[in-house]
Amino acid sequence: MSRPITLFTIQWGDLPLEEVCKLAQQMGFEGLEISAAHIDMKRAAEDLAYIDEIKALLKKYNLGCWALSNHLAGQCVCDTVPDTYDSRLDGFAPSELAGKPEEIQKWAVDEMIATAYAAKNMGIDVVTFFMGSPIWKFWYSFPQTSEEQVEAGYQKVKELWSPIFDEYDKCGVKLALEVHPTEIAFDYWTTKKLLETFDYRPTLGINFDPSHLLWQNVDPVVFCRDFMDRIYHVHAKDVKLNYDGRNGVLGSHVTFGDMRRGWNFVSLGHGDVDFDGICRALNEGKYAGPISIEWEDSGMDRVYGATEACAYIKRYNFTASDFAFDSAIKTD
């Protein structure tokens, strides 16, 4: 199949980009989804010599790049509005901005716009991202939440992100939102409402990650088929369900990897995601972009796990048949 298998670099942010490139090549990957942990987006937006350095590094290790990521800055765009500021965002922004939500938001908007121009300079047309949510705290409607409050939250997202989208349109770059808890779109119906809120603006699509849907009891294959025309990028990540009568769906404030959780992210093939069904849905929708492994497993060595995951997903990256299997047994 022509879909390249790439490695999302954010979980490898403790290593320099060249070391990640070297490891990715050794592990069998064909490219990288490069996060802001490995590229200075503002410099990449302006300095073509810097872009040439990055391209030369990728070429040295025979790797491609089809998407950039700026998840953390994107989260800060909406999560810094009045009354919703989360101090944990201080860890996403430059340290000198800690405790200053208005300044964090300005930094985040500038960073996301710079990422559009960085992608353009790299010759890349997709940026994966988070966009945050001013109403995530309303996910359980108590104290009682009105429809007007929810609608106001969606409109606030549209207000904040529309000028950013305008810059992406100028660059010919699309945004692929990872549907994920804490985002304005975190399941099937919130995704549909978000697309409707933006009037199905082509700038906004989906970074499809099945692991965030399955533990919510949303079928990733159904989601993939229904939103296929909006899937601009794909993350391959697995999740293991462990609802034993004690473990709840909400995680119980227990850290990832702890077996008291109802679910945990695990290396590909060690969980419950139906990658065969997903591949068939992607084939049906003629998706030809990258499949990017976002490797997360608290119970496994990451180099071992990512190497195994790369080989595993290649088993499911098959091409659709171009004829009916029973056509060869027909008689004239």
Task: Establish if 173 belongs to a structural domain.
Answer: yes
Full 3-state SS string of 133-201: CCCHHHCCCCCCCCHHHHHHHHHHHHHHHHHHHHHHHHHCCEEEEECCCCCCCCCHHHHHHHHHHCCCC
Residue 218 has pLDDT above 80, yes or no: yes
Q: Residue 228: which domain range?
A: 5-240+272-324
Question: Which tops the pLDDT comparison, 100 or 86?
Answer: 100
Task: Establish if 259 belongs to a structural domain.
Answer: no
SS3 assignment, position 5: strand
**CATH number, position 122:** 3.20.20.150
Task: Establish if 71 belongs to a structural domain.
Answer: yes
CA pair distance 263, 241, nearest whole angstrom: 4
> With pLDDT > 70 as the criterion, what percentage of the chain qualifies?
98
Task: Establish if 171 belongs to a structural domain.
Answer: yes
Identify the weakest region by mean pLDDT among 13-17, 82-86, 97-101. 82-86
User: Quick one: which of 234, 322, 308, 239 has its CA closest to 278?
Assistant: 234
Average pLDDT, the chain: 95
31-35 and 5-8 strand pairing: parallel
CA pair distance 321, 332, nearest whole angstrom: 22
Pair of tokens at residue 224: 């993939």
Give the model's confidence band at 332: pLDDT under 50 very low, under 70 low, under 90 confident, else very high.
low
User: Quick one: which of 250, 255, 192, 253 has its CA closest to 226?
Assistant: 192
Task: Establish if 260 belongs to a structural domain.
Answer: no
238-241 and 174-178 strand pairing: unpaired
**Confidence at residue 83, expressed as pLDDT on a 0 to 100 scale:** 75
**Confidence at residue 325, expressed as pLDDT on a 0 to 100 scale:** 67
Q: Are 145 and 138 in contact (CB under 8 A)?
A: yes
The mean pLDDT of 25-49, rounded to a whole number, is 98
pLDDT in tens, 103-147: 999 999 999 999 999 999 999 999 999 999 999 999 999 999 999
pLDDT in tens, 41-64: 999 999 999 999 999 999 999 999
Q: What residues contact 323, with CB distance under 8 A and at least 6 apart? A: none
CA pair distance 62, 28, nearest whole angstrom: 11
**Confidence at residue 86, expressed as pLDDT on a 0 to 100 scale:** 85
Give the model's confidence band at 17: pLDDT under 50 very low, under 70 low, under 90 confident, else very high.
very high
Q: What DSSP letter does each residue of 8-46 carry, written as one string?
A: EGGGGTTS-HHHHHHHHHHHT-SEEEEETTTS-HHHHHH
**Confidence at residue 319, expressed as pLDDT on a 0 to 100 scale:** 87
| Burial of 97 per CB tally in 10 Å (0-12, 13-18, 19+) | buried
SS3 assignment, position 82: coil
Q: What DSSP letter does each residue of 269-329 carry, written as one string?
A: TSSS--HHHHHHHHHHTT--S-EEE----TTS-HHHHHHHHHHHHHHT-PPPPSS-TTGGG
Q: How many domains does the chain have?
A: 1
The mean pLDDT of 296-307, rounded to a whole number, is 97
CA pair distance 198, 196, nearest whole angstrom: 5
Alpha carbon of residue 181 to chain centroid: 12
Task: Establish if 119 belongs to a structural domain.
Answer: yes
Task: Establish if 332 belongs to a structural domain.
Answer: no
